[in-house]
Structure 1
Amino acid sequence: MPVVPRLLRAVLLGATTAAVLAPAAAANAEPSPAELQQQINQSSSALEKVVEQYNGVGEQLKTTQTAADALNAQLAPLQSKVDSAYANVGKIAVQAYKGGGPSSMALLLSDTSPGTLLGDLTSLNRIASTQQREIQGYAQAKEQYDAEKKKLDDLLNQQRAAQQSLADQKAKIEGDLAKLMELRQKAFGSATAPKPAAVAAPNIAGSAGAAVRFAYGAIGKPYVYAASGPNGYDCSGLTAAAWESAGKSLPHNAAMQYNQTARISRSQLQPGDLVFYSGLGHVAIYVGNNQVIHAPQPGEHVKLASVDMMSPYGYGRVR
């Protein structure tokens, strides 16, 4: 083979080999910092929705547990009355058996006059029927309460199962996120963002002012899953804690907070109002000047941000 064709063939083979290897090398390349941040944001967003669902189940669990406790408190005296009624009937039965108390047989064998006998039998029947009505009434009431209690117990069991399921999901996503945080550590030299500096709260009056001041005081606290303070917060934990400091109770769940607040428009926003994002997967508190304070995501801290940090889903005013 001539020298030139051999060289050409070698060059072509080398070019082909390079073309085959280049994509593989690119595919195995380390993700860029921007790509890592995007992966972290996506996983954090998915995790936050699971955490908010977890928080919601916890709120429902507290509600049904309170109802179960109230029902148990009502059942206790009812059970006591039922036991007392049965005990009274038992005493009558024992007395009749031993001959120590009134019984139909004893009355029939006595020398009592017909008029007195009729009166005694009527009295005996009246006592028995009264006791029986009481027993039936108590038993029916207890049966109703037992049925309601069973419904509540079943609901509690379902919620505990749902909570465990969400906890399992949360554990998986946390595991995935931990891997991404390792990549972030490698890419940026730190798995966590710098802690923001404290910011002075504006002077706002009323309960909304108290909630806003609390939010400003939380700046720099770390994001912690399913936490409502005092050492860390998730998004709905922060807004719930802020308004709790102002004497208002909000559930620890973004969707529930949305349902509990009054709908307002963007133009009506005032400090203390809540701003919802990500299909009710995230919530922040509005503090004025087109800014909100929120607990963003794992690896970050409570901080000030633009109200348009994401596309708002809706706005709510605490009533």
Structure 2
Amino acid sequence: MSGRLRRGLVVLAGVAAIVLGMGAQAHADPTPEQIEAMLDEEFAKIEPIIEQYNLVESQLKENKAKAAALEAQLAPLEAKVADSMGQVSQMAIEQYKGGRASAFNAILGGGSPSALPAQLTQMEVVARSQRAKVSDVQAVRDQYRNDKRALDELIAQQSKQEAELAAKKAEIDARIAELKKMRDKAYGGSPPKQVADGLTTCPIGGSGAGYTAAKFACDQRGKMYEAGAEGPNTYDCSGLTQASWKAAGKSIPRTSQQQMSVRQVAASELQVGDLVWYGAGHVAIYVGGGFIVHASRAGKPIASRGISAGSTPTRYGRP
């Protein structure tokens, strides 16, 4: 297990302990506003772990594809090795049974005995050439096998890590579901209405790929957040930003932290379509006029809001 994932699991265990410890406070019948604040606070702690989970899952997919490609390359190579080995074996048999016998018969038939060493030498040269070819093919095959073995080990390791993270995330999701039930009860059993942010035109201005990306994000408003989702019906924060820029014809990495590899810009340089981070765990897309669109957390739909409403951006970037 990598150090980063180990630290993530430790942090996640701590979050779980904090969340579980909040159960004792639930008897105080918190207000709807307090429930919402609790959800926001806890999800802010959980989201980096979800992004870590996304990273492991993304790497797992890539490595499985690499392993499949190596397997496909390995099959014909092994067949070539087997064919070469067969040819050499057959040649050895013929040399042993036929080659020397033919040379001996030639001698008995009046051929010159002095020709025999030359004939045998020629056969040995051919045999060495064949063996060299087989050796070369075997070396390449063994390299592929070593590469695939390393990939198999990595996939096994990541599969284990993925299972561990998924189990921890399930624990947190269960507690979030409890908090959502408390929220619904506090609201009298009806889902809370989303407060309108006043953004009727979305995006506001912009052009080119940035506008296309922002327009895609705007069109997803109302769809629900789902941890690990990449669309088309649900998204998490980085799943939304990745899909938005994919719609604009540009590929960006899967997780919020990986997406920080895009070119960084200053707040004064913000353009429609730029990415906006809140710490390393949450990313949104700027849609102009001081607004972002983001997939905020479980229980809430994708929505627009003021760029600094509730939390302050820590970084800006442009794919």
- Give TM-score scaled by structure 2 length: 0.83
- Structure 1 residue 192, shift from structure 2 partner: 4.3
2:92 and 2:127 in contact (8 A); partners too? no
CA distance in 1: counterparts of 2:221 and 2:267, whole angstroms: 24
- Secondary structure, aligned partner of 1:276: strand
Matches within 5 A, 1:114-193: 114-190=113-189, 192-193=191-192
2:205 and 2:272 in contact (8 A); partners too? no
Matched letter for residue 123 of structure 1: Q
Matched letter for residue 162 of structure 2: Q
- Secondary structure, aligned partner of 1:254: coil
From the CA coordinates, give the structure whose radius of gyration is larger: 1
Structure 1 residues 128 and 218 mapped into 2: Cα distance closer, same or farther (>3 Å)? Answer: same
Aligned position for 1:49: 48
Aligned position for 1:288: 288
- Structure 1 residue 28, shift from structure 2 partner: 5.0
Aligned position for 2:4: none
Structure 1 residues 50 and 189 mapped into 2: Cα distance closer, same or farther (>3 Å)? Answer: farther
Structure 1 residues 86 and 120 mapped into 2: Cα distance closer, same or farther (>3 Å)? Answer: same
- Structure 1 residue 56, shift from structure 2 partner: 0.9
- Secondary structure, aligned partner of 1:253: coil
- Structure 1 residue 297, shift from structure 2 partner: 0.8
- Structure 1 residue 208, shift from structure 2 partner: 0.7
Aligned position for 2:39: 40
2:230 and 2:236 in contact (8 A); partners too? yes
Matched letter for residue 86 of structure 1: M
CA distance in 2: counterparts of 1:256 and 1:107, whole angstroms: 71
- Structure 1 residue 271, shift from structure 2 partner: 0.7
CA distance in 2: counterparts of 1:267 and 1:35, whole angstroms: 34
CA distance in 2: counterparts of 1:79 and 1:27, whole angstroms: 64
- Structure 1 residue 311, shift from structure 2 partner: 2.2
CA distance in 1: counterparts of 2:223 and 2:175, whole angstroms: 23
Does structure 1 residue 302 correspond to structure 2 residue 302? yes
Aligned position for 1:17: none
Structure 1 residues 132 and 191 mapped into 2: Cα distance closer, same or farther (>3 Å)? Answer: farther
CA distance in 1: counterparts of 2:301 and 2:143, whole angstroms: 51
1:184 and 1:191 in contact (8 A); partners too? no
1:43 and 1:173 in contact (8 A); partners too? no
Does structure 1 residue 220 correspond to structure 2 residue 219? no
Aligned position for 2:244: 242
Q: Return 29-38 or 44-53, whichever deviates more.
A: 29-38
- Secondary structure, aligned partner of 1:114: coil
Does structure 1 residue 71 correspond to structure 2 residue 70? yes
For this pair of structures, how many residues does the alignment match? Answer: 288
Cα deviation per residue 1:208-251 (whole Å; 9 max; x = unaligned)?
Answer: 11111111111111111211222111111111111111101122
Cα deviation per residue 1:29-78 (whole Å; 9 max; x = unaligned)?
Answer: 32333432232122222332222111111221222223223322332332
2:205 and 2:288 in contact (8 A); partners too? no
Aligned position for 2:211: 209
- Structure 1 residue 110, shift from structure 2 partner: 5.6
CA distance in 2: counterparts of 1:288 and 1:192, whole angstroms: 29
CA distance in 1: counterparts of 2:190 and 2:58, whole angstroms: 31
CA distance in 2: counterparts of 1:245 and 1:193, whole angstroms: 31
Runs of 5+ unmatched residues, structure 2: 1-24
Runs of 5+ unmatched residues, structure 1: 1-25
